[in-house]
Amino acid sequence: MSALDGVLVIDKPPGMTSHDVVDVVRKRFGTKKVGHGGTLDPDATGVLLLGLGRATRFLAYAQASPKRYTAVARLGVTTSTQDASGHVVEERGVAIGAGDIQEAMVAFRGDIEQIPPMVSAVKVGGERLYKKARRGEEVERQARPVSIFELELVDFSAERAEATFDLRCSGGTYVRTLVHDLGAVLGCGAHVSSLRRTEAGGFPVSDAVPLEAVGTEHLRPPVDVVASMPRLEVDDATARTVSHGGPLESDAGVPMGVDHVALVHNGALLAVYRRSGGRLVADRVVGS
C-alpha cells in the first residue's frame, strides 16, 4: 500500500460541487487518483467520503450504502430544480399543520419510486440530465426504486412555512425530489431550502473534517472505505488466495442475508467478495 492509499471523511462546505472538493484534495495531496463516494449538490453540506489511491476502487460500495440527511423544506413554493438554486415555478398558500405533514409522510416510508430531477447526473441518451437542463431541455425519465428507511418530522413552523426532516435512505435517493413529491401530496408544493448529509459510508458528520483543515493526518486506512460493510478476518493462507482473487469454497462466517463482505487480514483490506452458490468469489480486489 502507498502512503496515499486511504479515505478522507470531509464536511463539504456550501457553494462547491463534489468534483470541486476532489480537485482541492488532488492539489493538496499531490495525487490525481482521488474520487468521491456519492455526489452532494453544490448548496448541500455534510459528509462526503473521498477515496485516494487504491481505495478509489471501492468507492462504489460507499455510494450504494445508506445515507442520512437533515432537510429543511420551504412549503408553498415550487422551484425548477426542486431546491433553492432554481427559479420559482409556482407559489401557493400553506394551510396545513404538522399533523397533515405527518399523515402525508406515511406513503413515503419504505420502498418507493422517484423520477430523477432534470438537474441530476443521471444519463439519458448518453448525456447527463443536468447538461440537457442547461439547454432548457426536458426529457422523459424513468422512475427508479429507492428505499426510505426512516423519515421523521423534527420541526415545523407555520409562520415560516418551513418543515425540517430527518431521513435515512438508500444510496441514489434524491432528497429534493422526496420533498417536492411530498409538497405535491400536501397540495401546497415544496422545495428543499437547506440540505445537510449527516451520515454516509458508515461515518457520522461528527467524524468529518472541514475541507479547509484537511491534511495527511486525517487520512484513514483503505478498509474504512467499506466501513458500512460486514468484515471477515482471514488467516494467512486464505489471505494469499484472496490477494490473487481466488474463490473461497465456503461462505461460513458471513452473516445471513449479507451478499457482500470485506475480507481483511490483520485489519487491512484485501478485497470485497460476494456470495455465489455457497462460495465466496471476488468482486473487487485491492491488488498491487
Reply yes or no on whether 100 is catalytic: no
Among candidate residues 5, 20, 23, 41, the one labeled active-site is: 41
Cell of 143: 422512475
Neighbours of 283 (CB within 10 A): 18
Tell me how far apart the alpha carbons of residues 167 and 31 are, in angstroms, rounded to a whole number.
Answer: 35
The residue among 84, 68, 78, 69 whose CA lies nearest residue 185 is: 78
Q: How do 209-210 and 6-12 pair as beta strands?
A: parallel
Residue type, 38: G
The residue among 226, 225, 108 whose CA lies nearest residue 168 is: 108
Q: Please report, for residues 43, 191, 192, 251, 284, the alpha-carbon distance to residue 85 in angstroms, rounded to integers and kept in the order given.
A: 8, 10, 9, 48, 38
Q: What residues contact residue 212 under an 8 Å CB cut-off, 6+ apart? A: 13
**Could you give phi then psi for residue 54, rounded to 5 degrees?**
-70, -15
Neighbours of 139 (CB within 10 A): 11
Quote the crossing angle between the two packed helices 175-186 and 98-105, to the nearest 10°. Answer: 120
Tell me how far apart the alpha carbons of residues 113 and 78 are, in angstroms, rounded to a whole number.
Answer: 20
Residues with a catalytic annotation lie at 41
